[in-house]
Chain A
Amino acid sequence: MSPRPTIENPPQPERRRLLHGAAALVAADWFALASGCASPASGRQTTRADAAARSAAIDLAPAEFALVNRVSWGASATVAADFQRRGRSDWLQSQLHPGTNDALPADVATAVAAYSISTAPFEKLLADLDAVRRDSDSRAKAAEDDAARQAAQQTYQQALSKVAREAASRSLLRALYSPNQLREQLTWFWFNHFNVHQYKSNLRAMVGDFEDRALRPRALGRFRDLLIASATHPAMIRYLDNEQNAAGRINENYAREVMELHTLGVDGGYSQKDVQELARVLTGLGINAGDKMPNLRPEQQPLYVRQGFTEFNPGRHDMAAKVVLGRKVAGRGWSEVLDELGRLAAEPATARYVSRKLAIHFAADTPPPAMVDRMAVAFAKSDGDIAVTMAAMFASPEFAPTLGRKFKDPMHYVISAVRLAYDDRPILNTAPMLGWLGRLGEAPYNRQTPDGYPLDESAWASPGQMATRFEVARTIGSGSAGLFRVEGASVDGPGFPRLASAFYYASIEPTLGAATRAALDRATSAQEWNAFLLSSPEFMRR
């Protein structure tokens, strides 16, 4: 059992329990409008409505609001109420140790459960898609003209795209509505850390499983487990070409990236020779989507390993001795692969590199070195326990001053806006969000290169990107934008969202600067007011 991290519990600032008179009236008006729009209650919606009703009493101090806004995918009345009910220490514990219950709203859970990625196991899904591919290919061969040939090929491409869209949708819905916000943020972080690109080969069929089964269950667990789960998933094996890596025909792609991007970091003290030697260690780790075992000599057969579509083929493995990072590695096969990945995970350079990257995502583009040091110590002492490492960051005195200053990347921007807009009424159609993320340049699973999307402000705050962000703000502010439109239905949702809620007046307004308040006062409609709030400099940061 892992040691429970301890969180410092700083003195709670006195809460302002009462709303100011005028603001409370306005808030009540807006709130009444918003409630009037909600549809009659299912059991779940009653719970949500209760949570929303509690928001009248939510009164987070600015520092608390900032913390909730940072740990979650964006502050909302629901998460703020949870924070207020539990208190800082308990709430952080619940985020660091979320258990297995996703507790998604019933409508959302039902929608996700109906996806093909939820109803069929990954291996069956891949096998089915392979059948579609063979069928498409044979129809393409038999086709009489080029147009028919193209159409036949498209059937397979569309089937692949559907699977990837489902995965992206599930991921966004969890980010929007799971109470386990830190796990969902870390799931995105780890996918980005171990990035694969959906448009290589058939990876569109694999990204959902990579995220859901390899990374998400371990998001707050041990780094070594994350590393091995990523290394042995077909998505990674295919993306970084380790399936091409065999004794005598070395492909260094994965070996290089696992040291440069996943563990030690580019300045982590390894050489080109280490890359070559690690590539030899990794020979034989590949994919086998068929039924047949490869032909092996009798003495090799006991060394063969198969887990799902992941295969270790001793016939392709280099059994000679290697030297990696100055250590001698005997040629043993599968255990050699796992042991070497484990050693990389345990390197001091890895503790520093991973801690710093977590700090860049969760605190600042240039994180305070003292905080990163504390995290790296916690990482090393806990055998790479991510919950412990994160707890060390939250407990660092350098953490609080970073709150409210980190520029939101497009994922944070879009998700936080939709969370704020539709906290009490879950959206069911993520297609508009995927469109916005595409326009803003950060669509799920769509980073081509293994380094993952950048985490710093300079990558996202270019003039064109800011202008697009304001357009998205306007779109979200002025209507439901298709977020409630389910397939086959012509009706969309409840008009435009009511951002000027009780939660806004109690927790957000106090954090706004004079220029933003003045701008909001110039709004001529509730929709425009929404657009200005979502365009404000305060809303660009977390």
Chain B
Amino acid sequence: MQRREFIRRTITSAAAVPLAAGSTALFAAPDAPVRVLVVFLRGGYDAASLLVPVSSGYYYEQRPNIAIARPGTAADAALPLDADWALNPSLRESILPLFLKKQAAFVPFAGTDDASRSHFETQDTIELGQAEQRSRNYRSGFLNRLATVLGARDAIAFTDQLPLIFRGDAQVPNLALASLGRAGIDGRQSDIIASMYSGSSLAGAVSEGFDVRSRATEALAGEMVEANRNALTAKGFEGEARRIGRLMRERYHLGFVDVGGWDTHVGQGAGTGYLANRLGELGKGLAAFAEESGESWNRTLVFVVSEFGRTFKENGNRGTDHGHGSVFWALGGAVRGGRVAGEQVAVSPQSMFQNRDYPVRNEYRAVLGAVFAKLYGLSAAQVQSVFPGSRPVDIGLV
């Protein structure tokens, strides 16, 4: 299906769905489709350090060395969101402003039913998004099934390998922006190489590959010009996220990127330190993505997930071990933000899963299925083909 057709379908199907109040901004510019970026924090980030349960005495009891101070009690204290929850202080300049603009929401007690606590198994579980109790098909990730349902050719993974989440029937390109150097092959050489494939089964892939490259290079060139003007050089994830923002603004509407470094068994820090730095970098990157998205941010959803949360109690190395329930983030103009969403429980010894971890009350397939249904106007059958056997639960994220 061509892009124009895809857009038309998106609009038509969207129009057929009654829109919840507040989400009409989504479709304000009817010639531009919704953008979705899934960000996977690989390694199981410590969600209790992102969204701090400041009303819970149990939290401070269980984490004598790594708890983040209650708002107003220290320079690196948590930033208040509501009576129960506060945000990691490293996100003051990046994510907090989005929350205040009602463009950021957090879903605590989120995750999967997979209790293996294995990074790989649980990452696979999330990326495949298949019904439980069935033999896994490693050739079918849920974002690929979504791309297939949407008939879109404008999905892309910003990774050096095609991740499980994008494996499947739809052909999805991948492009690692973090390691993207200046292309060694110039325009003349690309044309000559493409000429060898003319008429062959790979002709489309070859020319699209060069196209993806050159768009990325263009985005990079613009970045350099601005960098010179503003005397700014974006490093690490921020630089990568800016490039993603540019590419998704111009061309791609369904994206995926992963960020590692969250497996904090040792010395994770509290309001400052290792984990706060990582969250700070991530927040800066996501804010940069929002900035680069420009006007299209109004129709964007960024969904941040991780395979599991970590143990609620700190371990003997001032770190945390593999746990269960996590906190997912939803950012963007498409989001009904400024709140903590989904089913909640009190953070207490009684509510812990297996006496040690956050429970999962917001199963991600149920949550995302409902989000996709609303964003794209999918039928129940289409949602089932993205998440077979799931029962969508609308927690009002969009």
Are A462 and B172 touching (Cβ within 8 A)? yes
Stretch at the interface among A42-50, A68-76, A101-109, A516-524: A516-524
Q: Which of B184, B209, B316 contacts A466 (CB 8 A)?
A: B209
In the bound assembly, the distance between CA atoms of A11 and B274 in angstroms comes to 69
Determine the distance from Cα of A516 to Cα of B124 in the docked complex, in whole angstroms: 41
Chain B residues whose CB sits within 8 angstroms of the CB of A537 once the complex forms: 196-197, 200, 202
Give the chain A neighbours of B162 by CB distance below 8 A.
441, 459, 462, 464-465
- In the complex, are the beta carbons of A528 and B189 less than 8 A apart? yes
A458 shortest CB reach to chain B, Å: 8
| A149 B205 Cβ-Cβ under 8 A | no
Among residues of B, the one whose C-beta sits closest to the C-beta of A451 is B138
The answer to whether B184 touches A150 (Cβ under 8 A) is no
**Cβ of A197 and Cβ of B120 under 8 Å apart?**
yes
Query: Looking across the interface, which residue of chain B has its beta carbon closest to that of A241?
Result: B118
| A478 CB contacts on chain B under 8 angstroms | 184
Identity of the chain A residue whose Cβ is nearest the Cβ of B211 in the assembled complex: A463
Q: How many A-B residue pairs have CB under 8 A?
A: 122
**How many Å lie between the Cα of A532 and that of B189 in the bound state?**
8
B164 to A449, Cβ gap below 8 A?
Answer: yes
Chain B contacts for A518, CB-based, 8 A? 195
Q: Decide if B187 is an interface residue (CB 8 Å cutoff).
A: no
Contact A439 B179 (CB under 8 A): yes
Given the complex, which residues of B lie within 8 Å of A465, measured CB to CB?
162, 173-174, 209
**Chain B residue at minimal CB-CB distance from A462:** B173
Does the CB pair B192–A519 fall under 8 Å? yes
Q: Residue of A at shortest CB range from B169?
A: A458
Q: Which of A335-364 touch B at CB < 8 Å?
A: none
A397 interface contact, C-beta 8 A: no
- A residues within 8 A CB of B268? 146
A149 to B274 alpha-carbon distance, docked (Å): 12
* CB of A357 to closest CB in B, whole Å: 15
For residue A439, which residues in chain B have a CB less than 8 angstroms away from its CB?
A: 160, 176, 179
Chain A residues within 8 Å of chain B by Cβ, number: 45
The interface stretch among A467-475, A492-500, A502-510 is A467-475
With A150-B266, A439-B160 as contacts: A471 and B185 at CB distance below 8 Å = yes
Q: How far is the CA of A189 from the CA of B269 in the complex (A)?
A: 44
Whether the pair B273, A146 counts as a contact (CB closer than 8 A) is: yes
Determine if A535 is an interface residue (Cβ-Cβ < 8 Å).
yes
Q: Does A383 have its Cβ within 8 Å of any Cβ on chain B?
A: no
User: Which residues in window 288-307 of A have CB below 8 A to B?
Assistant: none
Residues of B within 8 A of A448 (CB): 120, 123-124
Given contacts A465-B209, A535-B193, are A150 and B172 in contact (CB under 8 A)? no
B166-189 toward A: CB 8 Å interface, digit per residue (1/0)? Answer: 010001111110010001110001
Let me know if B202 and A461 touch, CB within 8 A.
yes
A480: CB under 8 A from chain B?
no
Chain A residues in 8 Å Cβ range of B185:
470-471, 474, 531
Q: Which residue of B lies closest to A450 (CB)?
A: B138
Instruction: A147 to B171: give the CA distance in the assembly, Å.
Output: 43
Nearest Cβ on chain A to B186's Cβ, whole angstroms: 10
B266: chain A residues at CB < 8 Å are: 140, 146, 149-150, 153
B169 nearest CB across to chain A (Å): 9
Contacts of A474 on B, CB cut-off 8 Å?
A: 184-185, 189
- Among A147, A464, A531, A540, the most chain B Cβ lie within 10 Å of the Cβ of A464
Q: Which positions in A face B, CB cutoff 8 Å? A: 140-141, 145-147, 149-150, 153, 197, 200, 260, 266, 438-439, 441, 448-449, 451, 454, 458-459, 461-467, 470-471, 474-475, 478, 515-516, 518-519, 522, 528, 531-532, 535-537, 540
Name 5 interchain pairs, CB-CB below 8 A, sorted by A: A149-B267, A441-B160, A474-B184, A519-B193, A537-B200
Chain B: residues with CB nearer than 8 A to chain A? Answer: 120, 123-124, 135, 138-139, 156-157, 160-162, 164, 167, 171-176, 179, 183-185, 189-190, 192-193, 195-198, 200, 202, 204-206, 208-213, 266-269, 273-274, 316-318
